[in-house]
Amino acid sequence: MLNVFTVDLEDWFFAANYRIFPDERLKSEARQYFLENTRLLLKLLKTSDIKATFFVLGFVAETEPDLISEISAEGHEIACHGYNHTPVTLMRREEFRKDVRLSQTAILNACGQKPTGYRAPQFSITQNTLWALNILADEGFTYDSSVYPFKGHPDYGFSEFGLKPFVHESGIIEIPMSCAEVLSIRVPCSGGAYFRFYPFPVFRYFLKKCNAHGLPGIFYIHPWEIGEKHISPDKGLLKFRKYHNSNKILNRIGRLLYDFKFSPMNDLITYYTKK
């Protein structure tokens, strides 16, 4: 079973709504921590001999080209996460096309790789934004991994979508995020907050359940979810949701890499293309 390890390469200060954030010192500290955490992930992946897929914001590729080049040189796949983390649901079609093109160009300039994979910010490919897959096909993408096929989250979810990879009419291969079925209820188990909030044995159980049903486990993590420093303007419930158990994440990722085999997304796409 091919499971996939992915990293959404972003932090709060890369998003458009924080560009004019007044505290430049805080942004500078957060940038350094972002670089440190990304390199900690790279070190852990190298130690475990795992290649991953990094979904990169175009703005990150523009501002941190050396980091993107470094990730690519380590043999990891570089894919696209949009330009400045604007959800597809907030864009018109031509705005989305422009966003994608800006991202592709920035990534190509940074590492010489033109991305063939895409993940929408906030998993914002839904019933109302399936048109985006046609644009991705037009712009040379092969696959998308943006659909979270469950109900229950206020910002995303596409419960009408199946759990298995699917070929859209545009030709784009959709790789949905992982959900385990427990008593006919879909339980999200791809990573991120679910990885931090579930006890590790519970998360492992759900991922094994996906594999037992012939489904690849699609895991994702963000650099800001690692470590004890929380250099962010977030407060209250949002801060708790973003950083709870982040001090345990490196250890948990190490255990995950020991218990499961992982590949980059393009290996999974090759598998489905040849089937």
* Cα end-to-end span (Å), the chain: 14
Q: CA–CA separation, 97 vs 162, rounded Å?
A: 26
Residue 6's pLDDT band (cuts 50, 70, 90): very high
The pLDDT score that the predictor gives to residue 275 is 64
Q: Phi, psi (5° rounding) for residue 238?
A: -65, -45
Residue 156 has pLDDT above 80, yes or no: no
DSSP state for residue 225 in the 8-state scheme: G
Q: What domains can be seen in the chain, in order of their start residue? A: 3-274 (3.20.20.370)
The pLDDT score that the predictor gives to residue 184 is 85
The token pair at 8 is 């959404």
The pLDDT score that the predictor gives to residue 27 is 92
Q: Which residue has the higher pLDDT, 21 or 1?
A: 21
The answer to whether 83 and 99 are in contact (CB under 8 A) is yes
Residue-wise pLDDT tens digits, 83-131: 999 999 999 999 999 999 999 999 999 999 999 999 999 999 998 999 9
List the beta bridge partners of residue 218.
4
What percent of the chain lies above the pLDDT cut of 70?
99
Residue-wise pLDDT tens digits, 20-56: 788 999 999 999 999 999 999 999 999 999 999 999 9
The answer to whether 106 and 35 are in contact (CB under 8 A) is no
Q: How many CA atoms lie within 13 A of 90 on its CB side?
A: 13
Averaged pLDDT for residues 119-147: 96
List the beta bridge partners of residue 181.
186
